[in-house]
């Protein structure tokens, strides 16, 4: 070996030797990690192929004029400038979406928490109820539910039939611009299943002896809720609030189905994502729609960052 | 070191994926396979699939797969597929979109196949024109139709109101509508649908005034006065109870299933003649077709015979010859034409029209009689609408709703419509 090192050929040999060592290490590493990479592969493909790749392409497209049939044409900031200065539909869509977020998230969380607390009482057949209450969330995005909602809130729907029993003649909730958004809020609140399950898990984490001690000290049920349940649940509430807010910003299907894709009547159900969709696929403005999408990403990021920044003042972690 | 490993691994994985996908496309690209895409409901799908089966039995070794969607979902899907280089070979195309798709190079020009492989000799000349853009044929018309009023004759009879005739004016029609509403024979039923947001209606009305929606060079074809008067006319109808209130009309998603006639909310509604078969299938009462009303008893009609839809061939198709042959079969084979009936409109080929006419059932006859009996109500086919016409249609409806819900006066509505459409067209 030492002989070989002196000759030029030997130097190559050394490299080969080092290469062989590296190869060996590579093989060892590979052998150790291969199953891991193999199991990661579906996610990796999904992440790079279906999430990161398209996201970067859409970022590029947001600076272009792209009609999906011809190649994109670079227009710089023009799309963003139009959004900021000359697009009344943008502000209309923003208004509708913010209304939806502001109403649907708190109501949904409150409702989910109430049901979770009711279910937490060691009810008989608990799993059954859990499944039943979760069902709407599973069906949530489906066309059938949106169609059902039309049946409920149309002028001759069930809601008005019930109202007419007490002498009130209701409008066609779903097709009246003043009310239509709230029927969609109601639809979202009804789909309280997934935050409820998470609340239920959170409630289970609270030690029972705390309640026992509190009731020995004479604390009322309401006081127990206010002083024990709520503070110990804040991490879960925080999590649910962030997730539900992001979801609400991205809501699309119900409005699409119920308004037939128009966002009507009079833009009252023109969710941000619905407008984005109209621009992209209805009007062949994929570049502009991409810019709209990135604005939405920005808005969601700001909201989420804000939640995290304020969380330190109200979220209590058990340590 | 581990980075190098994962990168190499990644590249290898990518190569495998690539070769896999290449396998997939080459398998799909066999020349004996055709993919079709159309919009419509189940009855149309059944007819179309039967024709495809017939074609396959007559042309051994070919395989034809078809997909269909509702109108609203159809265009996004098509645009995505074309952009993704995955367009179907045979595409159902509408008059509204043919220019956009053709000018952007998504469709294959077909005139070179005529007349040997695509024989349109006995086609209505005007309808061949309708499928042409910049001198090339991009679409073969599958039938002719015309905009029409659908009447629930049972509801008219119950209310003791005579059906409108070809001479009925809008004012008379509104009086009829108000009478039906007032008669109140059915709970929640009004006389007429609210047509203020319906583009075919507005266009018809404009044409009777000698105007148009769009000019041949893609500009707006009407003025503020026209639009304001239009909205004002419907506001008066609404006030008189002749047509449904705005919150009922807003349920209409511009398809057969949610039209106020289908929902039982009005005795008369607005549609297209080739939809009559489907309307009748959905309604227990006996329906009839008539024209849109006249502005004055002596005013010329604003109707025209429109290619109800085309078959176009994708420029990306690897089987253009087969696609052309299929389309030729679709419009010229008597067996196929009988299967199709007049569901996509009255056949354009004179010979096929005779084949169908001999075997039509009652509902088919209604549509045929209506389109061929338009007489002086039918005028020239307007030029294909410019890019942005889809947005214009939504705008007409949006403003109609604002007027309907009392958020905008008819005069302001007219002003706004003209401003918005002018801007939309400028944006292109």
Percent of chain A exceeding pLDDT 90 equals 40
Strand partners, A73: A65
Between B387 and A38, name the one with better pLDDT. Answer: A38
Q: Which chain A positions have a beta carbon within 8 Å of B17's beta carbon?
A: 45
B279, B256 Cβ separation under 8 angstroms:
yes
Between A173 and B287, name the one with better pLDDT. Answer: B287
Has residue B28 got a pLDDT over 50?
no
Has residue A100 got a pLDDT over 70?
yes
Angstrom distance (rounded) from CA B403 to CA B393: 16
B320, B118 Cβ separation under 8 angstroms:
no
For the segment A264-318, what is each residue's pLDDT rounded down to a tens digit?
788 899 999 999 998 888 888 899 999 999 999 999 999 999 999 998 888 887 6
A271, A93 Cβ separation under 8 angstroms:
yes
Strands A64-65 and A73-74: antiparallel
Is A132 an 8 Å CB contact of chain B?
A: no
The confidence score (pLDDT) of residue A255 equals 84
Q: Which chain B positions have a beta carbon within 8 Å of A67's beta carbon?
A: 104
B143: left (phi over 0), alpha (psi -120 to 50) or beta: left
Has residue B5 got a pLDDT over 50?
no
Question: Which of A37, A174, A265 comes nearest B401 by C-beta?
Answer: A265
Interface contact A68-B255, CB threshold 8 A: no
Has residue B16 got a pLDDT over 50?
no
Interface contact A177-B4, CB threshold 8 A: no
Has residue A80 got a pLDDT over 60?
yes
Give the range with max mean pLDDT: A180-194, A281-295, B226-240. B226-240
The confidence score (pLDDT) of residue B274 equals 87
For the segment B336-349, what is each residue's pLDDT rounded down to a tens digit?
999 998 889 889 99
Between A292 and B282, name the one with better pLDDT. Answer: A292
What is the number of residues in chain A? Answer: 319
Task: Provide the 3-class DSSP secondary structure of residue B184.
Answer: coil
Task: Name the pTM for this structure.
Answer: 0.82
Q: Give B254→chain A minimum CA distance, Å.
A: 8
Interface contact A26-B1, CB threshold 8 A: yes
User: φ, ψ for residue B275 (rounded to 5)?
Assistant: -85, -5
Least confident piece of the model among A8-17, A43-52, B127-136: A8-17
Instruction: Measure the CA angle with vertex A253, ends A250 and A254; round to 5°.
Output: 105
Distances (CA, A) of A73 to A79, A118, A286, B103, B428: 12, 58, 11, 16, 15
- Helix intervals (H) in B84-211: 98-103, 125-130, 153-158, 170-183, 199-208
Interface contact B72-A26, CB threshold 8 A: no
Has residue A240 got a pLDDT over 90?
yes
| ipTM of the prediction greater than 0.90, yes or no | no
Question: Which of B80, B105, B391 comes nearest A281 by C-beta?
Answer: B80
| pLDDT band at A149; cut points 50, 70, 90 | confident
Average pLDDT value for residue range A34-59: 92
The confidence score (pLDDT) of residue A126 equals 78
Average pLDDT value for residue range A257-261: 78
Strand partners, B69: B39
For the segment B66-111, what is each residue's pLDDT rounded down to a tens digit?
999 988 788 888 988 988 889 999 999 998 889 889 988 899 999 9
Interface contact A260-B254, CB threshold 8 A: yes
Average pLDDT value for residue range A25-40: 84
Averaged pLDDT of chain B = 88
Helices (H) and strands (E) in chain B, counts: 17, 15
By C-alpha distance, the chain B residue nearest A30 is B5
For the segment B318-364, what is each residue's pLDDT rounded down to a tens digit?
999 999 999 999 999 999 999 998 889 889 999 999 999 888 888 88
Residue A277's closest CA among A263, A265, A264, A258? A263
A83, A295 Cβ separation under 8 angstroms:
yes
Helices (H) and strands (E) in chain A, counts: 16, 2
B244, B313 Cβ separation under 8 angstroms:
no
Average pLDDT value for residue range B122-140: 89
What are the DSSP calls for A91-148, one per residue? HHHHHHHHHHHHHHHHHHHHHHHHHHHHHTTT-TTHHHHHHHHHHHHHHTT-HHHHHH
Q: Pull the structure tokens for residue B44.
A: 């149309």
Question: Which of B17, B82, B388 comes nearest A69 by C-beta?
Answer: B82
By C-alpha distance, the chain B residue nearest A282 is B76
**Is the preceding omega at residue A265 within 30 degrees of 0, hence cis?**
yes
Interface contact A264-B246, CB threshold 8 A: no
Residue A97's closest CA among A303, A262, A264, A269? A269
């Amino acid at each position: 070996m030492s002989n070989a090192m002196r000759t030029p050929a030997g130097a190559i040999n050394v490299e080969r030797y080092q290469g062989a060592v590296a190869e060996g290490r590579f093989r060892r590493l590979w052998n150790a990690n291969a199953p891991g990479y193999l199991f990661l592969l579906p996610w990796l493909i999904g992440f790079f192929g279906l999430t990161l790749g398209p996201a970067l392409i859409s970022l590029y497209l947001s600076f272009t004029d792209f009609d999906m049939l011809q190649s994109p044409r670079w227009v710089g900031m023009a799309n963003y400038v139009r959004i900021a200065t000359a697009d009344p539909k943008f502000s209309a869509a923003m208004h509708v979406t913010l209304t939806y977020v502001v109403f649907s998230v708190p109501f949904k969380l409150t409702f989910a928490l109430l049901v979770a607390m009711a279910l937490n009482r060691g009810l008989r057949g608990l799993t059954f109820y859990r499944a039943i209450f979760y069902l709407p969330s599973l069906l949530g995005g489906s066309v059938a539910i949106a169609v059902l909602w039309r049946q409920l809130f149309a002028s001759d729907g069930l809601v008005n039939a019930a109202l007419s029993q007490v002498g009130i003649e209701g409008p066609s909730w779903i097709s009246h611009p003043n009310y239509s958004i709230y029927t969609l809020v109601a639809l979202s609140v009804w789909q309280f299943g997934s935050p409820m399950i998470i609340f239920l898990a959170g409630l289970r984490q609270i030690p029972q002896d705390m309640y026992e001690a509190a009731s020995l000290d004479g604390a009322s049920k309401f006081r127990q809720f206010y002083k024990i349940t709520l503070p110990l649940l804040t991490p879960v509430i925080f999590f649910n609030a962030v997730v539900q807010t992001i979801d609400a910003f991205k809501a699309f299907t119900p409005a699409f189905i119920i308004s037939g894709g128009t966002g009507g009547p009079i833009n009252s159900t023109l969710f941000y994502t619905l407008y984005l969709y109209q621009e992209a696929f209805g009007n062949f403005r994929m570049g502009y729609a991409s810019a709209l999408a990135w604005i939405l990403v920005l808005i969601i990021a700001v909201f989420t960052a804000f939640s995290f920044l304020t969380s330190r003042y109200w979220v209590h972690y058990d340590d | 070191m581990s980075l190098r490993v994962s990168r190499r691994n990644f590249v290898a994985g990518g190569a495998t994926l690539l070769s896999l996908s290449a396998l997939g496309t080459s398998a799909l690209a066999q020349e004996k396979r055709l993919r079709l895409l159309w919009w419509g409901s189940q009855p149309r799908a059944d007819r179309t699939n039967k024709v495809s089966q017939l074609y396959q039995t007559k042309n051994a070794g070919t395989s034809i797969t078809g997909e269909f969607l509702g109108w609203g979902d159809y265009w996004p899907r098509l645009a995505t597929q074309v952009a993704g280089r995955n367009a179907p070979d045979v595409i159902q195309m509408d008059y509204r979109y043919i220019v956009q798709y053709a000018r952007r190079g998504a469709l294959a020009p077909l005139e070179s196949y005529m007349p040997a492989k695509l024989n349109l000799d006995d086609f209505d000349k005007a309808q061949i024109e309708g499928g042409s853009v910049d001198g090339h044929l991009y679409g073969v018309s599958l039938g002719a139709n015309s905009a029409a009023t659908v009447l629930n004759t049972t509801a008219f009879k119950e209310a003791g109101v005579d059906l409108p005739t070809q001479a009925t004016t809008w004012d008379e029609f509104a009086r009829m509508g108000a009478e039906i509403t007032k008669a109140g024979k059915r709970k929640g039923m009004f006389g007429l649908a609210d047509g203020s947001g319906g583009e075919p209606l507005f266009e018809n009305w404009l044409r009777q005034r000698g105007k148009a929606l769009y000019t041949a060079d893609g500009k707006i074809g009407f003025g503020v006065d026209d639009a304001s008067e239009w909205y004002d006319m419907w506001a008066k109808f609404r006030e008189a109870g002749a047509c449904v209130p705005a919150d009922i009309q807003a349920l209409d998603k511009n398809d057969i299933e949610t039209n106020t006639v289908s929902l039982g909310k009005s005795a008369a509604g607005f549609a297209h003649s080739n939809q009559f078969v489907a309307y009748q299938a959905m309604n227990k009462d006996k329906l009839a077709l008539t024209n849109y009303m006249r502005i004055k008893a002596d005013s010329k009609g604003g109707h025209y015979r429109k290619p109800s839809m085309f078959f176009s061939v994708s420029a990306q198709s690897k089987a253009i010859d087969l696609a052309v042959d299929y389309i030729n079969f679709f419009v010229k084979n008597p067996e196929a034409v009988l299967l199709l009936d007049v569901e996509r409109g009255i056949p354009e080929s004179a010979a096929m029209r005779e084949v169908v006419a001999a075997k039509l059932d009652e509902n088919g006859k209604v549509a045929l009689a209506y389109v061929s009996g338009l007489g002086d109500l039918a005028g020239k086919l307007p030029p294909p609408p410019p890019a942005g016409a889809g947005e214009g249609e939504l705008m007409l409806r949006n403003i109609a709703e604002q007027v309907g819900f009392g958020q905008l006066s008819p005069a302001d509505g007219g002003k706004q419509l003209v401003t918005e459409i002018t801007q939309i067209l400028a944006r292109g």
